[in-house]
Amino acid sequence: MRITMIGSGYVGLVSGACFSDFGHDVVCVDKDSDKIDALRAGRMPIYEPGLAQLVAANVAAGRLTFTTNLTAAVADADAIFIAVGTPSRRGDGHADLTYVFAAAHEIALAVTGPTVVVTKSTVPVGTGDEVELILRQARPDIDIAVVSNPEFLREGAAIADFKRPDRIVIGTEQAHAREVMREVYRPLYLNESPILFTGRRTSELIKYAANAFLATKITFINEIADLCEAVGADVQDVARGIGLDNRIGGKFLHAGPGYGGSCFPKDTLALLKTAQDHDSPVHIVEAVVRVNDNRKRAMGRRILHSLGDDLHGKTVALLGLTFKPNTDDMRDAPSLAIVQSLEDAGVGVRAYDPEGMAPAKALMPDVVYCRDAYEAAAGADAVAIVTEWDIFRALDLRRLAAVMIAPVMIDLRNIYRPEDVKRAGFAYSSIGR
């Protein structure tokens, strides 16, 4: 099939590369000419394990191309995916649909025959209706079906998620559009990936409901972690104990400094705005957003407390800056709130992250960025593990302690056993233990 992917960011690039790997002919479109030039040269705009190799293989095979020319890219496409950004709108938290609607207008001017337009971007309920209205008003002469097909990709594991998905959600009431989408995803039939056909508005809501529920699990276990510390229990054992119940499951029950990233923060806010607009409040999600914001700031206070009463001249080493490992994504990362708390208190910050330091420098210019964990810890009064990169899981703890002014560790991801860290001479604290 001929597929056009409008938007070559995280979702568009991963989806386009995977579709081409299935054997489809894919054109990825982006207005950013520098990004397109970089992609043609084999340079990825994001860090995602395996993506560069996947793109290179399919470019070499002639199945994947990149362009800034939307008109030529959509003219004869069987399916046109809209995968542009939908950031939170300032003021009310609603998803900013400017790029989605702009793409719809451009598609309407460029299509030459019947096609299927698919919203891959995360959009509020009813967006597909508005996209359809834009297309019908501009091109009443052409049969254009509008489909919702939300993505469920985890950063750091996006390729595996795309190729072996838990489910494929497709929202449409049109039989022809269903058949086109079946053909698009036909290669996944061999994996027996379930396809759930729903109404378009239902499909749009599924995405938000899924992310809000996962954010709720994270926030729930973080509050239980605080209770564990108060009563002398171990949150990791609590998480195992409840996670073994197959009605609950063990995923997203890892206590830490709060959720961040490109999805959970903006999607929970967008869901709240949708609920408010329809006078149907979602009080649980309201609490999740509030508790998560407070938690990030509380992690900064926890680190400051470990430094004692006199903060003058103190320095903290942060290991990990991105919101999760195996990505360079700094969006709403807990490290942002933590660094702000430390700097507001006059504490210096040194940091190391395997992939996130380039984007972090623009957001946190006063941090001292280092070559590795040991350089970051040199002369520090405490070290805090903020992101659970594999490279931090087997540090030489005695070497780390030797270069620090005071061997203090705050493990916000519980990646170490307390007895091991204490044996190396550290004063150690973790989450919920």
pLDDT for 191 equals: 74
CATH of the domain at 9: 3.40.50.720
Banded pLDDT at 399 (limits 50, 70, 90): very high
Same domain, residue pair 230 and 340: yes
| Catalytic machinery residues | 263
Same domain, residue pair 209 and 161: no
Last residue of a domain, one of 163, 198, 233: 198
Cα 16 from Cα 46, distance rounded (Å): 14
Q: What percent of the chain has pLDDT over 90?
A: 96
Contact 243, 250 (CB under 8 A): yes
Q: What percent of the chain has pLDDT over 70?
A: 100
Same domain, residue pair 13 and 153: yes
Same domain, residue pair 335 and 247: yes
Same domain, residue pair 286 and 357: yes
Cα 21 from Cα 332, distance rounded (Å): 32
Q: In this model, does residue 193 exceed pLDDT 90?
A: no
Q: Into how many domains does the chain fold?
A: 2
Q: In this model, does residue 261 exceed pLDDT 80?
A: yes
Same domain, residue pair 268 and 144: no
191 vs 23, more confident: 23
**Distance between the two ends of the chain, CA-based, in angstroms?**
53
3-class SS shares of the chain: helix, strand, coil, % to 5: 45, 15, 40
Cα 216 from Cα 210, distance rounded (Å): 10
Query: The tokens of 411 are what?
Result: 């493990």
Chain-wide mean pLDDT for the chain? 96
Banded pLDDT at 257 (limits 50, 70, 90): very high
Q: In this model, does residue 89 exceed pLDDT 90?
A: no
Same domain, residue pair 194 and 220: no
CB atoms within 10 A of CB 310: 7
Q: Which structural domain, as residue segments, surrounds residue 205?
A: 200-433
Give 347-395 pLDDT, tens digit per residue.
999 999 999 999 999 999 999 999 999 999 999 999 999 999 999 999 9
DSSP-based three-state secondary structure for 411: strand
Q: In this model, does residue 74 exceed pLDDT 90?
A: yes
* Helix 200-231, helix 235-243: angle, nearest 10: 140
Same domain, residue pair 190 and 210: no
Same domain, residue pair 127 and 182: yes
* pTM exceeding 0.75: yes
Cα 83 from Cα 60, distance rounded (Å): 24
Q: Does an H or E element contain 409, and which?
A: strand 408-411
Q: Collect all residues with Cβ–Cβ distance below 8 Å to 56 and sequence separation of at least 6.
A: 42
Q: What is the DSSP string of 120-170?
A: -S---TTHHHHHHHHHHHH-TTS-EEEEE----PPTTSHHHHHHS-S-EEE
Cα 140 from Cα 137, distance rounded (Å): 6
Last residue of a domain, one of 178, 198, 218: 198
Same domain, residue pair 277 and 172: no
Contact 235, 255 (CB under 8 A): yes
Last residue of a domain, one of 198, 233, 255: 198
DSSP-based three-state secondary structure for 182: helix
Beta bridge partners of 319: 352, 385
Same domain, residue pair 120 and 139: yes
Give 309-339 pLDDT, tens digit per residue.
999 999 999 999 999 999 999 999 999 999 9
CA dist 279 → 94, 213, 217, 288, 299 (Å): 15, 20, 25, 19, 34
Same domain, residue pair 314 and 404: yes
CA nearest neighbour of 210 among 260, 153, 127: 153
